[in-house]
Amino acid sequence: MLRLVQGLRLSSNSNSNELSAKAAEIYRECFAELAASSCPLSQHKCNSNSNGQHSTLLQCFDAKPSNQTESIAPSPDDVWIFGYGSLVWKADFPYIDRRRGFVCGYKRRFYQHSIDHRGIPERPGRVVTLLPGDLTQDRVYGVAYRIAAAQKSQVLDHLDYREKNGYERCNLEFHEYPSTTMPIEVIIYVATQSNDSYAGHVWQVPCIARQIFTSAGPSGPNREYLFNLFIAMQELFPDVVDEHLTELVDCVKQYIKNEEPALLEQALKAQINCILSEFLAKDASEQQQEAIAQRLEALLERCQQPGWREELLIQELQERTI
């Protein structure tokens, strides 16, 4: 980076047009490839098979129904937990069995704000909850996990904390897919419409998609949550269509394709220009050049961290509305 900065022949006499040109050069050399590397859909990866190729989520699901290192026998005191959002692909708790299936009479919607996982309080993301629907027509597909009696208290405490932002427990009947076995009673976490983070008053798909497009939190980008759920549904339930989920994915992909490249480019060039302007208030001595290079390296490092895109996207969009 220092060699690049030295080659630009920076001077405190540089005008705004010259600085913009130099910022554009730095962008092309160091940031353009990174900004263009956004993948529209994240990829599930499971354990490699004997040929070194990654199996699909469904193959992993069927091959390994338990995540326990030691076999634990089922008992009447076990409980089942049903996941219809991130729990479908991220069950970060011990379970002794898992099954694909659905609950009846509900619709899955991205009507809940996330301020602790896929967003932050000042910029909430969107995650799923359930809305009452038609008992005979509406189904929500997901995964039920069997929790051993000895681990029940630990797992429920963990999930109560994980789902603390507006979710409450309730019990429903779970139907296995594609089997026709007897229903299983499951515990499910639902964010009610009376909780502080309920966001169903803004229900239009383009509005929700734009929020997802520009949100990220401690658990990562909001789009990752959306894409992971979409891929999981495709692989676990290939003949089921979730129209709300599909429309959101298509809309976010359009934002990524049509708006993200230009927004990121402008935001990064503005950041680079700001660094150059700040350090060129004085003559561009060797020390000043080193300081510029260090700040640019710090910016580049920041752009390797989760959520960097969303941070710059929302910043650029705010700048354009001022």
Could you give the residue numbers annotated as active site? 163
d(CA 226, CA 248): 8
Q: Describe the chain by its helix, strand, coil percentages, rounded to 5.
A: 45, 20, 35
d(CA 19, CA 284): 13
d(CA 251, CA 209): 6
Q: Give the burial string for 31-56 (b: 16+ CB within 10 Å, else e).
A: bbebbeeeeebbebeeeeeeeeeebe
Type and span of the H or E element at 147: strand 139-147
Closest residue by Cα to residue 262 from 210, 320, 307, 212: 320
Tokens matching residue 276: 């150059």
Report helix, strand or coil for 145: strand
Report yes or no: 152 and 79 within 8 Å, Cβ to Cβ.
Answer: yes
* Phi and psi torsions of 113, nearest 5°: -70, 145
Report helix, strand or coil for 98: strand
d(CA 230, CA 236): 10
Burial-class residue 262 by CB neighbours within 10 Å (0-12, 13-18, 19+): exposed
Residue type, 260: E
d(CA 290, CA 39): 34
Read off the DSSP letter of residue 126: E
d(CA 142, CA 100): 6
